[in-house]
Chains A and B, each alone.
Chain A
Amino acid sequence: MTAALVWVVAALAAVFLLLLVAIVARRWLADRRGAADGAVRPGVEATLVDYLATEEDRAPPPPRTVAERRVLREVSLATIGELRGRERERLVTLAERSGIIAEAEAELRSRRLLRRRAGAEALRQFHSEASAAALSAALADPDLETSLSCAVALAELDDSAPIAAVLERADEACEERPGAAAAILVALGRRHPEALGEALDSERSTGLRRLAAAIAGELRLAEHAEALRAALEDPDDELVARAARGLGMIGDAAALERLLELAAAEDRAWFVRLAATGALGEIGDERALAPLERELQEGAWPAQAKAARALRSLGGRGEAVLRQALGSPREAVREHARVALED
Chain B
Amino acid sequence: MDVYIAAVTAYFVAFALFHGWLLVMAAVETRRHASRLQAANLQQTIRSPLTPPISVLVPAYNEELGITDSVRSLLALEYPRFEIVVVSDGSSDATIERLVDAFELERVRRPTPPFLEHEPIRAVYAPRGRLNLLVLEKDNGGKADALNAAINFARYPLICAIDADSVLEQDALVKAAMPFVDDPVRTVATGGLVKVANGCRVERGRVVETGLPRTALPMFQVVEYLRAFFGARTGWSAVNGLLLVSGAFGLFRKEAVIAAGGYSTKTVGEDMELVVRLHRSRRDQGRAGRVVYVPDPVCWTEAPESTRVLRRQRRRWQRGSAEVLIAHLRMLGNPRYGTVGMLAMPALLLFELLGPVVELSGYAVALLALLSGTIEAEVFLLFLAVSVLCGLTLSFGAIAIEDASFGRYPGWNQLGRIMLFAVLENAGYRQLGLLWRLEGFWQLVRRGEWGAMERTGLGGSEPEAILGDGVGLR
Q: Which residues of A contact B (CB under 8 A)?
A: 1-2, 4-6, 8-9, 12-13, 15-16, 19-20, 22-23, 26-27, 30, 77-78, 80-82, 114, 117-118, 121, 125, 177-180, 182-183, 186, 214-215, 218-219, 301, 331-332, 335-336, 338-339, 342
A125 near B40: Cβ-Cβ < 8 Å? yes
Q: Can you show 25 pairs from A to B with CB atoms below 8 A apart?
A: A1-B379, A2-B379, A5-B382, A5-B386, A9-B382, A19-B396, A23-B399, A23-B415, A26-B403, A77-B39, A114-B35, A121-B36, A121-B38, A121-B41, A177-B183, A178-B184, A182-B181, A186-B49, A214-B50, A218-B49, A219-B49, A301-B114, A301-B115, A331-B111, A335-B109
Contact B389 A81 (CB under 8 A): no
A185's closest neighbor in chain B, by CB? B50
Contact residue among B20, B40, B181, B412 (Cβ-Cβ distance under 8 Å from A179): B181
Interface presence of B185 (CB below 8 A): yes
Q: Which residues of A contact B114 (CB under 8 A)?
A: 301
Ranked nearest first, the 3 interchain pairs of A and B with the lowest CB-CB distance are A335-B111, A81-B43, A179-B182
**How far is it, in angstroms, between the C-alpha of A8 and the C-alpha of B376 when the chains are bound?**
17
Docked CA distance A80–B379 (Å): 62
How distant is the Cα of A332 from the Cα of B113 in the complex, in angstroms? 9
Q: Are A16 and B9 in contact, CB atoms less than 8 angstroms apart? A: no
Q: In the assembly, what is the distance between CA of A332 and CA of B115, in Å?
A: 13
Q: Which residues of chain A come closer than 8 Å to B40, judged between CB atoms?
A: 77-78, 80-81, 125
- Set of chain B residues within 8 Å of A331, measured between Cβ atoms: 111
Distance to closest chain A CB from B288 (angstroms): 11
* B170 in the interface (beta carbon within 8 A): no
Q: When the two chains form their complex, are residues B13 and A186 in contact, meaning their CB atoms are under 8 A apart? A: no
Q: B36 to chain A: which residues have CB within 8 Å? A: 121
Q: Are A301 and B6 in contact (CB under 8 A)?
A: no
Partner pick for A16 among B43, B185, B393, CB 8 A cutoff: B393
Q: Write the nearest CB–CB distance from A218 to chain B, whole angstroms.
A: 4
Q: Are A178 and B31 in contact (CB under 8 A)?
A: no
Q: Closest residue to A20 on the B side, CB-wise? A: B396
Secondary structure of the A side of the interface? helix
Contacts of A82 in B (CB 8 A): 43
Q: Does B66 contact A (CB under 8 A)?
A: no
Which of A19, A27, A177, A182 is within 8 Å of B412, CB to CB?
A: A27
- Check if B110 sits within 8 Å of A339, measured CB to CB: yes
A113 and B43 CA atoms in complex are apart in Å by 24
In the docked arrangement, what's the CA distance between A253 and B50, Å?
24
CB-nearest residue of chain B to A126: B40
Complex Cα distance, B22 from A147, in Å, reads 28
B385 at interface by CB-CB < 8 Å: yes
Interface residues of B, CB < 8 Å — how many?
53
When the two chains form the complex, which single residue of A16, A179, A339 contacts B396, counting CB atoms closer than 8 Å? A16
- Min C-beta distance of A217 to chain B, whole Å: 9
Specify which chain A residues have a CB less than 8 angstroms from the CB of B403 in the assembled complex: 23, 26-27
Task: Kindly report which residue of chain A lies nearest to residue B380, judged by CB atoms.
Answer: A5
In the complex the two chains form, what is the Cα distance from A20 to B420 in whole Å? 12
A residues within 8 A CB of B393? 12, 15-16, 19
Set of chain B residues within 8 Å of A81, measured between Cβ atoms: 39-44
Residues of A within 8 A of B43 (CB): 81-82
Q: Besides A5-B379, A9-B385, A342-B108, 18 other CB < 8 A contacts?
A: A5-B9, A5-B385, A9-B382, A12-B386, A12-B389, A13-B389, A15-B20, A26-B403, A26-B404, A78-B38, A78-B39, A81-B39, A81-B44, A121-B38, A179-B50, A182-B181, A186-B48, A301-B113
Check if B182 sits within 8 Å of A177, measured CB to CB. yes
Q: Which of A117, A214, A332, A338 sits near B35, CB closer than 8 Å?
A: A117
Query: Which of A8, A27, A332 meets B415, CB within 8 Å?
Result: A27
Task: Flag if B2 contacts A1 (CB, 8 Å).
Answer: yes
| B101-117, CB < 8 A from A | 108-111, 113-115
Residue of A nearest to B42 (CB): A81
**Residue in A12, A30, A117, A336 whose beta carbon sits within 8 Å of that of B111 in the complex:** A336
Q: How far is the CA of A119 from the CA of B153 in the complex (A)?
A: 45
Nearest-neighbor residue (CB-CB) of B385 within chain A: A9
Report the separation of the CA atoms of residues A179 and B115 in the bound assembly, to the nearest whole angstrom.
29
Q: Knowing A1-B2, A5-B379 are in contact, say whether A180-B109 is a contact too (CB < 8 A).
A: no
- Nearest B residue to A176 via CB reads B183
Q: How far apart sit A2 and B386, CA to CA, in the bound complex (Å)?
A: 12
A210 to nearest B CB, angstroms? 10
Most interface-central of B39, B40, B44, B397 (chain A CB within 10 A): B40
Q: How far is the CA of A6 from the CA of B378 in the complex (A)?
A: 10
List the B side residues contacting A9 at CB < 8 Å. Answer: 382, 385-386, 389
A86 to chain B minimum Cβ distance, whole angstroms, is 18
A168 to B93: give the CA distance in the assembly, Å.
Answer: 60
Shortest distance in angstroms between B24's beta carbon and chain A's nearest beta carbon?
12
Q: How far is the CB of B362 from chain A (nearest CB, A)?
A: 13
Give the distance to chain B from A211, nearest Cβ to Cβ, in Å: 8
B407 nearest in chain A by CB position: A30
Chain B proximity of A47: nearest CB distance (Å): 20
Query: Given the complex, which residues of B lie within 8 Å of A182, measured CB to CB?
Result: 48, 50, 181, 184
Known pairs A12-B390, A16-B393, A178-B185; A6 contacts B382 (CB<8 A): yes
Interface assignment of B392: CB less than 8 Å from any CB of chain A: yes
In the bound complex, residues from chain B placing their C-beta under 8 Å from that of A339 are: 109-111
CB proximity of A222 to chain B, nearest CB, Å: 15
Docked complex Cα distance between A9 and B44 (Å): 49
Provide the bound-state CA to CA distance between A5 and B181, in Å: 49
Q: Which residues in A have their C-beta under 8 angstroms from that of B419?
A: 20, 23
Tell me the minimal C-beta distance from B409 to chain A in angstroms: 10
Q: Using Cβ atoms and an 8 Å threshold, which residues of chain B touch A215? A: 49-50
Bound-state Cα–Cα, A332 to B110, Å: 10
